[in-house]
Amino acid sequence: MKSNTWTIIKKEFARFFGDRQLLFTTVIMPGLLIYIIYSLMGSGIQKMITEGANEVVTMRVENMPASLAPMFSAMDSSLVVLEQPVAEEDIAMLEDKELNVVLVRFPERFEEAMAGMQVADSGVLPNVEIYYNSTNNAASRVYMTVSTALGNIGRTFTVNVPQEEGQRFDQASDESIGAMIWSKILPMLIIMMLFSGVMAIAPSSIAGEKERGTIATLLVTPMKRNELALGKIVSLSAIALLSGISSFVGIALSLPKMVGMDEGVDLGFHYTTSDYVALLLVILASVLIMASAVSLLSALAKDVKNAGTMVTPFMLVVMLAGLLPMFQNGASESLVVYLIPFYNSIEVMTAVFSHELEWSAVIVTLVSNVVYTGIAVWGLTRMFNSEKVMFAR
């Protein structure tokens, strides 16, 4: 009995270690992917923190207490502290998120409040007002640093307590806050939904026909192999696009409830016809290149199950690319980024939803994705011409 057990063990080991593809996807790939994904996420977070720390922020302070001046000066090397009155028009200007300014207004006789002497006869503690824009990462970082430092001094004063109805210290508009949320969430959701549609149909279209033996019938017809490859990719893209659109409609309808915003709040979902056209074009290009890549992997696979195993690493890479906008400060300004397949589509979506769309980036993305699709059609044609690939067992 022990001999039989050992025979089965050796048989299974021989099957497993003899299959290089299975060995790679089971043993090597998980650790490799985790290393790559975690490294890229860590680099993204570090880049976001570093970029925010290096941005110069101006802090205008009204009624600066002499005892706190050294603390503010030593707070941050990238912080420029100016002792100036804070006017209402200065506060209104903060709505522009490109303005790296934080406004601090100390009450008069603040030193007495710090010493525990009550200033207001009404018994209300003096209030320090800090105005900023939360959609500006650098300004938001300075706000958190200043408010935390003041909170650690003592309890003889308050920070950012509204003194009248409707007073706002965060000058970010509902629209800009909404745009920031959409630009971080929607690209990931859209790319995942599109990829799910491709995954649902592409492996069975080619690997499934190889498994059933029907691919041989197609290959013996008087049809050019490049026509067959192009037909497969275009049809798969069209079907996957329908699935992606259906998923996107569901996301758009459920998103307000998902993010927990009440009715009547401006979610900032205000986009132009140009934005929607750019989004549609980049979705079309994204589906084309996804279908192309999955078709190539499916053609290499022996059957549908094997195709699913081969596509899994690719799916994880696409998901990782979809997560990257969460660790970025808006879309990239470098056109080189828009030459990277899959990631370029996500960058364009981020630009659309954050109201930073540049048509030059859209054009580079569309052209590069069409070129990559053409390369995939050529590669798939070569595979269809190879009996070793098409009839591998």
Instruction: Quote the CA–CA distance of 62 and 108 in Å, as a whole number.
Output: 9
Q: Looking at per-residue confidence, does 106 or 26 come out higher?
A: 106
pLDDT reported for residue 368: 92
- With tokens 């259906």, the residue in question is 246
Q: Number of helices (H) and strands (E), helices first, in the chain?
A: 15, 5
> DSSP code of 67?
T
pLDDT above 90 as % of the chain? 2
* pLDDT in the model for residue 156: 73
Asked whether the predicted pLDDT for residue 342 surpasses 80, the reply is yes
Higher-pLDDT residue of 147, 73 = 147
Mean pLDDT of the chain: 76
pLDDT at 83: 85
Asked if the model's pLDDT at residue 167 lies above 60, the reply is yes
Predicted local confidence at residue 291, as pLDDT = 83
Q: In what order do the strands lie in the sheet with 79-83?
A: 79-83, 57-62, 101-105, 127-131, 158-159
**Integer Cα distance of 39 and 341 in angstroms:** 20
Rounded mean pLDDT of 197-209? 77
pLDDT tier, 363 (very low <50, low <70, confident <90, very high otherwise): very high
79-93, 112-126, 324-338: the lowest-pLDDT one? 112-126
What is the pLDDT confidence band of residue 266, given thresholds at 50, 70 and 90? low
Tokens 């890549």 appear where?
293
Element (H, E) at 127: strand 127-131
The more confident residue out of 350 and 7 is 350
pLDDT of res. 365: 92
* 54/212: higher pLDDT: 212
Give the H or E element holding residue 80: strand 79-83
Residue 330 exposed, middle or buried by CB count within 10 Å (0-12, 13-18, 19+): buried
Contacts for 210 with CB less than 8 Å, ≥ 6 apart: 299, 301, 302, 303, 390, 391
Whether the pLDDT of residue 325 is over 50: the answer is yes
100: tokens are 């790296």
Contacts of 38 (CB under 8 A, 6+ apart): none
Residue 130: which H helix or E strand, with range?
strand 127-131
The whole-number average pLDDT for the span 48-52 is: 54
Check whether 356 has a pLDDT greater than 50.
Answer: yes
> How far is Cα 187 from Cα 185, in angstroms, rounded to an integer?
6
Q: Which amino acid is at 268?
A: G
Report residue 92's pLDDT band, with 50, 70 and 90 as the boundaries: confident
CA angle, 292 then 207 then 11, to 5°: 130
E strands, 153-247, where?
A: 158-159
The arithmetic mean of pLDDT across residues 142-166, rounded, is 79
Instruction: Find the mean pLDDT for residues 227-256.
Output: 72
- For the question of whether the overall pTM of this predicted structure is more than 0.85, the answer is no
In the chain, domain spans: 1-54, 55-172, 175-390
pLDDT at residue 262 in the model: 47
Average pLDDT over residues 35-61: 65
> Region 61-88: what's the mean pLDDT?
80
DSSP code per residue over 335-393 = GGGGGSTTHHHHHHHHHHHTT---HHHHHHHHHHHHHHHHHHHHHHHHHHT-HHHHT--
What is residue 220's three-state secondary structure? Answer: coil
- State yes or no: pLDDT of 131 exceeds 80: yes
How far apart (Å, rounded) are the C-alpha atoms in residues 199 and 243?
A: 11
Please give the residue that has the higher pLDDT: either 161 or 372. Answer: 372
Cβ–Cβ under 8 Å, residues 203 and 298: yes
- Report whether pLDDT(257) > 70: no
